[in-house]
Structure 1
Amino acid sequence: MTQLDEMVSGAKRLLVVGGVGLFAAFGLAACGAEEDGGDGSAGTSESTAAEETEAAEDAAGDAAAASYGDGTAPEAPLEPGASAEIGDWSVALGEVVVDAADVIAEVDPTNTAPAEGNIFIMIELQATYNGADAGDPYMDLAWSAWDGSADVGEEPFLLAPEDLSLVGNVASGETASGNVVIEAPEGDYSTVAVGELMGDQFYFAIG
């Protein structure tokens, strides 16, 4: 073999080796792309799903916020934790137990159960007296539940835990809290109303 032939043969070997290396590198890159999602569609899908979930959560939060209002209508109740000026009182809700029959039964053995088809709703009222002298929240205020179409509930004759009727007079600037109970038909309740006996009332969302 001449020197020229040897040079040509060596060049061919380099081309072959280089070609094999190039194809191998290309193959590895292709495999890596497939493992990562091929054309990147998997990564895009995950990103899109996360964005859709976040958008849905934001929409749900906006809807909940939009359902609250100034409390003058049951469709726009005050949000949990908010208070309302009712006569001489600033009133807010504490804990509300929608089905409180078992809790009330434990307080006093003479407490009767609700009638068949009814439930006890126990509402904690937190009231600050703003009048000149003193006032009794149990005597000055009234309460009910909203069933989606009307205010419902009657006050049963029983003793509730930390009953509001036992609070008595509250001095000006002082705050008192206690529970009141209404008996209402079974249902899903999310709003209660509190107002003056012969005046305006406000609707509160149950937290």
Structure 2
Amino acid sequence: MSGEQDDAGAAPRTIRQAGRPPLTERRKAEIRREIARQAVRLFNTKGVAATSAEEIAAAAGISVRTLWRHFPNKEHCVLPLLNEPLGVTIQAVLRWHPGHDAAELVDAMEHGAEEAVAADKMGNDIPALLDLVRLTRTEPGLRLVWIRSRDEAEQMLADALARRAGLTAPDLTVRVHAAVMNSALQAAMEHYAFHTSPTAGDPAALRKMIRDALLIAAHGLS
């Protein structure tokens, strides 16, 4: 019962249910990021098979029930680390002025990444993100999550490019451009992670590699 009648014909009066207040979207995002960080840390230390959902939840300071409300399985716990850089990319694409070359897009992406690092939205997660990318070489379950996230990223990039071009849906040209950009981002991330020691990661160097990869891929893209 969601309410009770005050007087005959009066509108029902809502009764507030007792319990915890609803979580804000920002708080939910913070919880998901902490779950992702702890999952990668445990996966990196013990391996995916030897890490339980209970361990991830305990490390993140939540219940297992809460963990399952956010993710369908333990491998998917890492998704927030993969999604945050994509958000920066999408925003840069939407701000990219029609008629300007790809260098402006790359500048906008770099600026967005710097803002995210300065606001502590992404900077502290870069070492964990690189550890995760390294794990995709040896952990099949994480490799599948990585591939799925890249597939979803390509569709989101295509939609953003279509909006920039004033299209109602991506056409073939837009889809090819999205695929090229997505592949460049993946190649840069993997190349940097696979050729850099976990103790020597440099966010600025990673951003430069991503910039170089996008400029290589975007030759002729406008």
Answer yes or no: same fold by TM over 0.5.
no
Name the one with the larger strand percent.
1
TM-score range, shorter chain: under 0.3
Name the one with the larger helix percent.
2
Larger radius of gyration: 1
Give the TM-score taking structure 1 as reference length: 0.24
Higher RCO (CA-CA < 8 Å; seq separation 6+): 1
